[in-house]
Amino acid sequence: TEEGRRPTCDLQDRKAMIVVSGVRWCLGAFLALWLADGVGQKYDYTWVLGYDYSLNTYPDKAEGSIIRFNDSPPSVTPYPIAYDMLGGTAISDPESGELLFYTNGCSVINARHEVMDNGENLNPGSWHIAYCIPGPRAYYPTSQVIFAVPYPGRQGRYVLFHRQKNGNDITKRSQLYSVIDMRANEGLGKVSEKNIPLISLADLAWNQATACKTADGTGWWVPVWSRVEPVCTMILLDSLGPRVHHKQTIGQEGPEINGAAAFDPSGRHYLWYDLRMGVHAYDFDRETGMFSRPRKLIINTPPPYSASVGVSISPNGRYAYLSARDTLYQLEHTLDDLASGLVMIDTMRIPTTYGIPITFSNSLLGPDCRIYITSGFAWAALSIIHHPDEKGKACGLEKLGLRLPFPNRNGSVPVYPMYRMDNEEICDPGISHVFPPGWYTHPVPPYPNPTSGHLYIDGRERGEVSLHDQAGRKLLTWDATGELSVLDLSSLGSGMYFLTLRRGDGRPVTYKIVKL
């Protein structure tokens, strides 16, 4: 090579390192890439949830909940985030698990919760103008379509896949990608390429975004389905960059409305779920990127179909969990007869004063080998499947078992492909005490707090409830019966009050309530 220059050495060179000049450097680069790609892989260790619900808790920021699986024990903390996380993703450093960036489709936000250099105006157009308004209420009206993966052979860079809506025809969408370079700006990152089209103005499905590693583990397959039609456009991402690889027509139809998709941990099986079109399962060839053996199962889910649904697959790859609005199913998805492998785990339809019930919605397998499920209505709790490798009800569903500091937007969890595919463990069961026991057993605190009027008491509370002013005078008292309670404080003056819950075991818990 020319004096002072190092030879390039990308992932395609891994299998052919027979060079004379610069062998030592290439070997070092290979080891560095191998360590980054194969050992750390904590890309999904920090989750960003939440939205702005007008309490002005944080000036110019939304009320967020940050879940950190890398803490010991893992933690859930309130945090001011840039904007509503209606749908999106967050990427963590593969070694430390600390947050690198996140997005909901409007802008790319760095670890300081500020717009990244060149990160503004993601998905430009009329939908961006209408929904990505300045301030914490900005969001792009899609979910389960935005995710990021490490750029093969380009250390420190990530490819963000996102889908753009067309303002003139709501059925037309464009599949775009952007490139994020975390080496820039002293680790705060820069969007180096933005809104690059892969599929332009096509009749694409609404959701169902995910990805699978190629057979050699150095690239990614990204399936993009046509709406209703049984056509999948397969995108390949490798060291040469993202591009359309092929189209395949398979099965009877494609997805239509809100849904989700997942590959199993081996990458050999794939399924998507749509409330109207049902469950569609396939075998997958990671070498060619082709599907085979299509199977279909219709699950009778009553309309309306506006709520999101979830698909997550157990760590052992045997069971898929389908969040079908008010019902959670377990499915042995590799069977020829899918109906024979369907088991109803439980139902959940908790009424609220808004007329929208709390149901099951999007789901995600966490780094701790548990599956977390959001609700179909904005709520400050996630349901948990503690033992997803177990058959039937032994999977250990705990409805609304993990409380959050603030309500989470309905259907909103990050979109994460199986980053640790081909690893000996695709998740870490050693994270045994996922959160302190209180996170699983303590009910959601009364909210919103501060409040200008109504205060909501968690539906799991039972026992005496009382409200006192700062002088200790009792203002209200009633019995919580295990249903969602609404306390109207609009007649009270501004200031601080004390709400005491005396549960059945006699243990009182007191909260400071701020009346605006």
pLDDT tens per residue, range 402-421:
888 888 887 788 999 999 99
The more confidently predicted of residues 202 and 500 is 202
Work out the mean pLDDT of the chain and round it to a whole number. 85
For residue 505, the model assigns a pLDDT of: 56
pLDDT grade for 459, boundaries at 50, 70 and 90:
low
Picking from 114-123, 331-340, 469-478, which range would have the lowest pLDDT averaged per residue?
Answer: 469-478
70 band by pLDDT with thresholds 50, 70 and 90: confident
Q: Report pLDDT for 19.
A: 32
What CA–CA distance (Å, rounded) separates 248 from 235? 11
Supply 295's token pair: 């199977």
**Is residue 167's pLDDT more than 80?**
no
Q: What's the confidence (pLDDT) of residue 324?
A: 86
pLDDT score of 15 more than 60: no
Q: What is the pLDDT of residue 7?
A: 35
d(Cα 236, Cα 219) in Å, to the nearest integer?
A: 7
Tell the burial category of 346 from Cβ atoms under 10 Å away from its Cβ (0-12, 13-18, 19+): middle
Q: Which pLDDT does position 432 carry in this prediction? A: 52
Binned at pLDDT 50, 70 and 90, residue 444 comes out as low
**In angstroms, how far is the first alpha carbon of the chain from the final one?**
70
43 residue type, one letter: Y
pLDDT score at 37: 43
**3-state SS, residue 11:** helix
User: Which tops the pLDDT comparison, 20 or 461?
Assistant: 461
- pLDDT value of residue 470: 87
What pLDDT shows up at residue 121? 96
pLDDT at 27 over 50: no
pLDDT digits (tens, 9 = 90+) for 361-381: 999 999 999 999 998 888 888
46 pLDDT band (50/70/90 cuts)? very high
pLDDT per residue as tens digits for the range 82-103: 999 988 899 999 999 999 999 9
**pTM for this entry:** 0.79
What phi-psi label fits residue 500: left (phi over 0), alpha (psi between -120 and 50 degrees) or beta?
beta
Whole-number Cα distances in Å, 367 to 98, 116, 381: 14, 26, 18
pLDDT of residue 116: 98
Average pLDDT for 60-77: 86
User: pLDDT tens digits, residue range 309-331?
Assistant: 899 999 999 999 999 888 999 99
Q: What is the mean pLDDT of residues 121-138?
A: 94
Percentage of residues in the chain having pLDDT higher than 70: 85
Cβ-contact 289, 234 below 8 angstroms: yes
pLDDT of residue 460: 56
346 pLDDT higher than 90: yes
pLDDT band at 157 (very low <50, low <70, confident <90, very high): very high
Cβ pair 277, 250 in contact under 8 A:
no
- Residue-level pLDDT at 18: 29
Q: Report the pLDDT value the prediction gives residue 212, as an integer from 0 to 100.
A: 98
pLDDT at residue 441 is higher than 60: no
Mean pLDDT of 182-187: 96
Closest C-alpha among 142, 69, 77 to residue 104: 142
Q: Compare 28 and 503 and report the one with higher pLDDT.
A: 503
Window from 179-183, 283-287, 426-430 with minimum mean pLDDT: 426-430
| Per-residue burial over 96-116, b = 16 or more CB atoms within 10 Å of its CB, e = otherwise | ebebbbbbbbbbbbbbebebb
